[in-house]
Amino acid sequence: MESYFSITVTSEDSGCELASFLKAHGFSKKAISRLKNSTQSFEVNGCRVNSNYILCTGDKLRVPIFNQRPPKAHIIAQNAPLARVYEDEYLIVVDKPRRLPMYPHRAGESGSLANIMAYHYPAQTFHAFNRLDENTAGLVLLAKNAHVLHLLQQTSVDKYYLLYAEGRLPASGIIDLPLYHQNGQPRVLVDYQSGKEARTAYTTLAYFTDYSLVRVHLLTGRTHQIRAHMAAIGHPLVGDTLYGAKKAHQSYRLLAYLLEIVHPISGEKLTCESPQALCF
């Protein structure tokens, strides 16, 4: 089913060129260019117009939202269960199990979330808002077209995680350390010169003999942010040997258990929780 961007022009935008108006509402230059040459294009008050049309107060604008690329041909469909937590015509939230990568390691392989999505949605391309490491379980937010992804990147999405960290952390705190990821290197490092701003808020939920159960709120979204930050304060994730943990466990446990989303189209606040939190 095709999606549409529909809006009534207010006096605030009267006199604005249509193309400029669409750019301000999240349409890329590529999407606008494609619409110019499409059989389905810009409509104002039910009539087709050009991208240089000057908007007037009360104009009813309707623009189709296309996927900017077809589904990837090299993604093999894999018949496996898919845990949907939320879905509408614009986005979907799925619950990824541990040890499942987001994408196949090589073209033509299966065994990833992308392969499973290709089976359940053979004609749909998805755009991942957040990506989880192979050993990180939990909620993945996917947009059903590039326009919705663009809007998601400009709206509010709060991400919360559960983890086990070595040692006894303080009751709560904020880790504010810049992180740098050099291409080709597995680890992300704290680097005050080249690193990008990275902030992680945490609350300790329970203490055990030699580790803690911790709830994390990501205030920024850098590669390996949680793993690198916890290691930097001397409390790596239990089993995360890449970041200096003891080798007592096969792999670390990290769960993206909660997403709070301001819907990019309706403005409604959505709260999605992973069922895996019940047995974490």
Give catalytic residues, as residue numbers. Answer: 133
Residue 166 · residue 211 · CB < 8 Å:
yes
Instruction: Please tell me what DSSP assigns to residue 86.
Output: E
Q: Which of 172, 146, 167, 129 is nearest to 270 (CA)?
A: 129
Q: Which of 62, 66, 47 is nearest to 6 (CA)?
A: 62
Residue 152 main-chain phi, psi, to 5 deg: -60, -35
Residue type, 12: E
Give, in order, the Cα–Cα distances in Å from 211 to each of 138, 140, 216, 249, 250: 21, 27, 15, 12, 16
Q: How far apart are CA 229 and CA 120, in angstroms?
A: 36
Q: How far apart are CA 262 and CA 101, in angstroms?
A: 27
Q: How far apart are CA 86 and CA 119, in angstroms?
A: 18
Neighbours of 143 (CB within 10 A): 22
Q: Which of 213, 215, 184 is nearest to 201 (CA)?
A: 215
Residue 5 main-chain phi, psi, to 5 deg: -100, 115
Chain mean position to CA 187? 21
